[in-house]
Structure 1
Amino acid sequence: MSLFGLTLVLAAAFCHATWNFFVKRIGGGPELVWLFSVVSVVLYMPLALYLLVTAAPEFGPEQIGFLAGSTVLHLAYFLLLQRGYRVGDLSLVYPVARATGPLLSTGFAVAFLGERISGQIALGGLAVIVGVLFLTGGIRRSVRSVVASIGFGLGAGLLIGSYTVWDAHAVAALAIPPLLLDYVSTCGRIVLLAPLAMRRRQLMAQHWRNHRGGVVAIALFNPLAYILVLHALIFTPVVYVAPTRELSVLLTVVAGSILLGEGHLRRRLPWAGVIVAGVALLATG
């Protein structure tokens, strides 16, 4: 992986961990997602308009189809994950999704994008996946709905793998600007969640009143995290980017342990080391 590509993915991981930290601290649901998505659209609108005017990207049928497909995949991921959290167990759905996501992304990249994977890349990716799985709790037999939780986790991981490879082709082969790709997806999320958000207007007002700075931080860093990843995917193979971006999980969990008092830091640190070792293998591969 090139130094510039690694820098972009590391910056994306920091952004991802930052917005996840504020989401955890605020403790909102779909209404919070709608609220920060609206703020994101407002914040990034000048840049989106600037790109449309200056870059004048071509939007033929294929580009429009990939924009629509990306929007559907991201919306499906969000809805499936939210449903999984309600039906299954967060401590199982989340680690399964985050572990299978990069695994499937890598497999899809090899199968559909013709990317090649060496033994070192495979070992590094596997180390990251195993580290993420156990850092976030691992497989627990005590969860209330093991089958449902694993099913939703695998489904979410499948969508992560799908939209990662789909979006990689969109920005690398079809030259769709990363910011515009993410902007369209955010707009679609706003439309889909609007009915639910309107039923929770009072809760949204409460979030805005009590956590305005946090909402703005999420609105800024949530799109930026993925835009940086998309820029890296323009010139960096998915087999490098997909596992490396899971550093964001490490940063989020460590921040939760230290800043939010979630504890378990001693148990989590060895698995954090496994993830760092995996990323080192990917960075030097």
Structure 2
Amino acid sequence: MLSPLSILLVLSAALLHAGWNALLRGGADRLQSMLVMSITLGFAGFLMMAMAGVPWAATGYVVASGAIHLCYNALLVRMYRSGDLGETYPVARGTSPALITLGGSVLAGEWMSPLGILGVGLVCSGIFLLAASRAGTGRAPLHLSNLPDALATGVSIAAYSVVDGLGVRAAGNLVAYTGGIFVFFLAMPLWVFARRGRAAFVMPVSEMAKAAIGALISLAAYGVIIWAMQENAMGAVSALRETSVVFAALLGAAFLGERLTGLRLAACCIIALGAVCVGWRT
């Protein structure tokens, strides 16, 4: 079971994570926002390794996590091109706890309890309810357009979470390991620059600043999660983190003009409750 300090910090990370997703979703150009975020995180990663060293003992985990994070970032951009934050974010985040718990069980002996099985059912039920809330707004059904991208994002979240849970334990150095992961984020802007040139990076200063702030929020949020996974079960940490779906729904309604229906809010709460059950340890 997580300690009170771990619970408080992971809940704070959940709020921060929903916040930087709201910044990305609210950006004028999601690809450009992600480019600035990737550059900011990449240089922050170099700075972290300069202070803490290179995580040589966990090199394989760092490379795997970096590659998965690049796929995750690309999926985020694709997902937010048409999907509302309050609809796609809960699906992406809500599908990952069950997969992470399964990965933790198989790879780290963190076997899922009967309560965790109940949590899986709650998460799935919440996702179906979320799709129903989308249809109830009179807009295009979520499952026809945005659901595949959201589910793929959820799979990528589960993959990098399991890798990082194992990797930070192998590295034995939180700062060095986290820095190594974020250095890989520079690959995305380098690839875009090679394909599109400097024009892809031309954007208003205000948008650039907003994206850079989002990157720093992202770094703080995920740094807390990696810290928590050093000593706690990966499924438990992930489950508590996914309460961010409720924060995302509220932020989407407050700042992005997204409609917060009672059905959508109920779906987010069910997903969050299921996520907590998946990771709960007695």
Write the letter of the residue equivalent to 2:10.
Answer: V
Match of 1:158 among 155, 159, 166: 155
Write the letter of the residue equivalent to 1:161.
Answer: A
1:70 aligns with 2:65: yes
Write the letter of the residue equivalent to 2:116.
Answer: I
Residue 229 of structure 1 is matched in structure 2 by 225
Give 1:85 deviation, angstroms. 6.3
Cα shift readout 1:49-88 (whole Å, capped 9, x = no counterpart): 2222xxxx6614xx211111111122223334545667xx
Aligned to 2:259, the other structure's residue is in SS state coil
Residue 83 of structure 2 is matched in structure 1 by 90
Give 1:280 deviation, angstroms. 6.0
Task: State how far apart, in whole Å, the 2-side matches of 1:271 and 1:154 are.
Answer: 16
1:168 aligns with 2:165: yes
Q: Name structure 1 gaps, 5 residues minimum.
A: none
Cα shift readout 1:223-280 (whole Å, capped 9, x = no counterpart): 1111111111111101211222111222112111122221224333323443454466
Give 1:114 deviation, angstroms. 0.9
Residue 178 of structure 1 is matched in structure 2 by 174
Write the letter of the residue equivalent to 1:247.
Answer: T
Sequence identity percentage: 24
Task: State how far apart, in whole Å, the 1-side matches of 2:41 and 2:209 are.
Answer: 13
Task: State how far apart, in whole Å, the 2-side matches of 1:81 and 1:212 are.
Answer: 18
Give 1:190 deviation, angstroms. 1.6
Give 1:151 deviation, angstroms. 4.5
Residue 238 of structure 1 is matched in structure 2 by 234
Q: Is the CA contact 1:167–1:230 (under 8 Å) kept in the aligned structure 2?
A: yes
Cα shift readout 1:174-217 (whole Å, capped 9, x = no counterpart): 0343333333333222223324247374564424x123542232
Residues 138, 275 of structure 1: alpha-carbon distance in 2 compared, 3 angstrom cutoff: same
Task: State how far apart, in whole Å, the 1-side matches of 2:66 and 2:221 are.
Answer: 17
Equivalent residues in 2 for 1:203-282, closer than 5 Å: 204-207=201-204, 209-275=205-271, 277-278=273-274, 281=277
Residue 20 of structure 2 is matched in structure 1 by 19
Q: Is the CA contact 1:132–1:250 (under 8 Å) kept in the aligned structure 2?
A: no
Write the letter of the residue equivalent to 2:109.
Answer: G
When the two structures are superposed, what TM-score results if normalisation uses the length of structure 1? 0.79
Task: State how far apart, in whole Å, the 1-side matches of 2:128 and 2:168 are.
Answer: 29
Residue 186 of structure 2 is matched in structure 1 by 190
Give 1:14 deviation, angstroms. 1.4
Matched residue pairs, number?
Answer: 274
Residues 114, 129 of structure 1: alpha-carbon distance in 2 compared, 3 angstrom cutoff: same
1:114 aligns with 2:109: yes
Residues 25, 151 of structure 1: alpha-carbon distance in 2 compared, 3 angstrom cutoff: closer
Aligned to 2:68, the other structure's residue is in SS state helix
Residues 245, 135 of structure 1: alpha-carbon distance in 2 compared, 3 angstrom cutoff: farther
Task: State how far apart, in whole Å, the 2-side matches of 1:137 and 1:49 are.
Answer: 49
Aligned to 2:257, the other structure's residue is in SS state coil
Residue 29 of structure 2 is matched in structure 1 by 28
Residue 127 of structure 1 is matched in structure 2 by 122
Residues 49, 157 of structure 1: alpha-carbon distance in 2 compared, 3 angstrom cutoff: same
Q: Is the CA contact 2:13–2:241 (under 8 Å) kept in the aligned structure 1?
A: yes
Task: State how far apart, in whole Å, the 1-side matches of 2:154 and 2:142 are.
Answer: 21
Q: Name structure 2 gaps, 5 residues minimum.
A: none
When the two structures are superposed, what TM-score results if normalisation uses the length of structure 2? 0.80
Give 1:46 deviation, angstroms. 4.0
Aligned to 2:263, the other structure's residue is in SS state helix
Q: Is the CA contact 1:94–1:136 (under 8 Å) kept in the aligned structure 2?
A: no
Aligned to 2:258, the other structure's residue is in SS state coil
Give 1:143 deviation, angstroms. 4.3
